[in-house]
Amino acid sequence: MDFATLIQILDSTVRLATPLLFACLAGLFSERAGIFDIGLEGKMLAAAFLSAAAAAVTGSVWLGVGAGIFASLMLSGIHGLASITFRGNQLISGVAINFLASGLTVLLGQTWFGLGGRTPPLTGDARFGPITLPFADALAPVPFIGPIYAELISGHSALVYLAIACVPASAWILYRTRFGLRLRAVGENPAAVDTAGVSVNGIRFAAVAICGVLCGLAGAYLALGLAAGFGKEMTAGRGYIALAALIFAKWRPWYALGATMLFGFLEAVGNRFPNIDLGLFVLPSQFMQALPYVLTVVILAGFIGKAVPPRAGGQPYVKER
């Protein structure tokens, strides 16, 4: 593998990791507040669909992003209603949300556009274009640093930079602000927050809403940045990979960056080299596809460090008698 190929793979890693990063941080806020969310996939899918639909109709990429966030927030609202207000099973609610998104996107897409669930292809201002960072062209010819800066760091769409900026922002919110302190406490011991006179449900709804916004961005990036429009089931399990990355990251923002980059890299390598010849035997492409899931199982099994989820995760908060 030469240097140019490596740069290309890394470049594609960043792009493929972006939706995962958004979704992973989304899950992080939700789960740190004690609300398990296996509905990341559905929220991304709904967001991808509505953002593509809105962008196709209005021709504006930012209206598309707004519509995507709206779609995701609606599903977050259902999840909040089920798991916070009515103390339902968070896992089952997540499953329902995934199906709801899966069915509704095709149903509405077919009704609105008649393209078998797809949205019309997006062009021009309805899509995210690359942003060229300052001096990228000037630096490009410089050996080694040039390609890294001009191709790997520069030339991504706005949402990629936003996703990366979300990492320090999330860490700052979680560890440096009052809201973050309360959010983490609610995920560990909601009774402590309640007796301190703070609304557990309020904090949890806020966390679920943040999760919705971030999932919306993830979906919007999929449809408006990575692809040019919505296609049936276009998330293709990315919500679950994000969930896997979250466990990999042990529910921490900076680790989330690392985990999603790793999974993005695996996907990029798999795309570039479908079958990897190791000399003795050939690694089939399916191996690369399954690798994130296998790695997550290994992590979950505690063979490489133990991933301890937030203690109150998955349990609705009921005042003790």
**Contact footprint for another protein (CB under 8 A):** 38, 78, 81-83, 86-93, 95-100, 102-104, 106-108, 110-111, 117, 175-182, 184-185, 188-189, 191-198, 237, 240, 243-244, 247, 284, 286-287, 289-290, 293-294, 296-297, 300-302, 309, 311, 319-321
> Is the CB of residue 63 less than 8 Å from the CB of residue 54?
yes
Cβ at position 154, least distance to another protein in Å: 34
The nearer residue to another protein, 103 or 130, going by C-beta atoms, is: 103
The nearer residue to another protein, 175 or 254, going by C-beta atoms, is: 175
The nearer residue to another protein, 39 or 68, going by C-beta atoms, is: 39
Whole-angstrom distance, CA of residue 90 vs CA of residue 140 = 50
Tell me 225's DSSP state: I
Cβ at position 19, least distance to another protein in Å: 17
Nearby residues of 302 by Cβ (< 8 Å), 6 or more positions away = none
Whole-angstrom distance, CA of residue 28 vs CA of residue 36 = 9
Cβ at position 106, least distance to another protein in Å: 4
Question: What backbone phi and psi angles, to 5 degrees, belong to 78?
Answer: -65, -45
Tokens of 238: 């990315």
The nearer residue to another protein, 58 or 285, going by C-beta atoms, is: 285
Cβ at position 312, least distance to another protein in Å: 10
The nearer residue to another protein, 8 or 89, going by C-beta atoms, is: 89
Burial code (b: 16+ CB inside 10 Å, e: under 16) for 2-23 equals eeeeebbbbbbbbbbbbbbbbb
Cβ at position 262, least distance to another protein in Å: 16
* Side chain identity at residue 231, one-letter code: G
> Is the CB of residue 237 less than 8 Å from the CB of residue 243?
no
